[in-house]
Amino acid sequence: MTTRSGTTPAIVLVVVGLACQEVGASLAVLLFPYLGPLGMVMLRLVFSAVILLLIARPKLRGHTAAGWRAVVLFGAVLFAMNSLFYLALERLPLGVTVTIEVLGPLVLSIVASRRASAWLWALLAFAGVLALGGGGWENLDVLGVLFALGAAASWAFYILAAARVGREFPKLDGLALAMVAGAVLSLPLGILDAGESLLRLDLLALGAAVAVLSSTVPYALELIALRRLPAAVFAILMAISPATAALAGFLLLGQHLTWIELVGIALVIAASIGAVRASGRAARETAEPLG
């Protein structure tokens, strides 16, 4: 009962975080002509850092050198992941970009899993990812695909770095400090990319909205969820992100879905549900005494 009551809310947190993230990504696409992808990354990280600092009010004393190294590494991963994702999003549709990006967590789920069944669910999710990209792979921008693959690798590192920071720092302290580190790293390229648009208050307000939707809310929810979910389960759960991205792209950006993309959505959702159920059974088997 304890495992079930702790796992189910964590799953809900991940799903809500994904939905917010894709709505924020859709809004960011609309701002690219004014701020550029790297300018958007900078605003996203800067506003997220400010908000999280106000909420968490992290303590700067009492942390080990290893803890601070984990925070800086997490901040660098946040900067790299967001930059590569937005650079890819500038050249590729939202659904396709996220479809490629999710390959990182899928590979991590296979590596981290210790159960044979997880491999089957990962393969099913991978098939869904391939199907979700159907109808457009041959026309994709090569540089955009490379950026998306870089974002995929960064996402895998993000999961590991977030879990480490969650263990080293209480509550949201580690995330807030890591967001500051990522924001500092984003300043030079962000200012260069956005230019005079940073003087417009309306664009700054929209950038703040993207930060809340794309970074503050989902990262906070995911960090909390990572304390309750195994890394392999969390990684497979993230496979539903192509579905939320495709839906957000359709509703907010007018990007229509083909039948094969709908099949892909169904496959990744089925794989996610299967992975969660398999994890629940494994936890109950471990908890139950023999004999």
**C-beta separation of 215 from 44 below 8 A:** yes
Q: Which of 242, 218, 11, 289 is nearest to 126 (CA)?
A: 242
pLDDT at 237: 73
Range of the domain at 102: 2-287
pLDDT at 74: 93
Tally of domains within the chain: 1
- Separation CA 74–CA 4 (nearest Å): 29
Q: Which residues contact 202 (CB under 8 A, 6 or more apart)?
A: none
DSSP H helix total and E strand total for the chain: 12, 0
| pLDDT tens sequence across 43-55 | 999 998 998 899 8
* 218 phi-psi bin (left φ>0, alpha ψ -120 to 50, beta other): alpha
Full-model pTM: 0.80
Residue 225 tokens read as 């969820």
pLDDT exceeds cutoff 80 at 37: yes
- Separation CA 156–CA 109 (nearest Å): 9
pLDDT at 137: 59
Q: Is the dihedral of CA 190, 201, 211, 95 positive or negative?
A: negative
Q: Which residues contact 58 (CB under 8 A, 6 or more apart)?
A: 169, 172, 173, 174, 176, 177
Between these two residues, 275 and 13, which has the higher pLDDT value?
13
pLDDT exceeds cutoff 50 at 1: no
**C-beta separation of 94 from 253 below 8 A:** yes
**Exposure pattern of 223-244 as b/e (b: 16+ CB <10 Å)?**
bbbbebbbbbbbbbbbbbbbbb
| pLDDT tens sequence across 237-272 | 776 777 788 888 888 888 776 777 778 777 877 777
| pLDDT tens sequence across 167-225 | 878 777 888 899 999 999 999 999 999 999 999 999 999 999 998 898 778 877 877 88
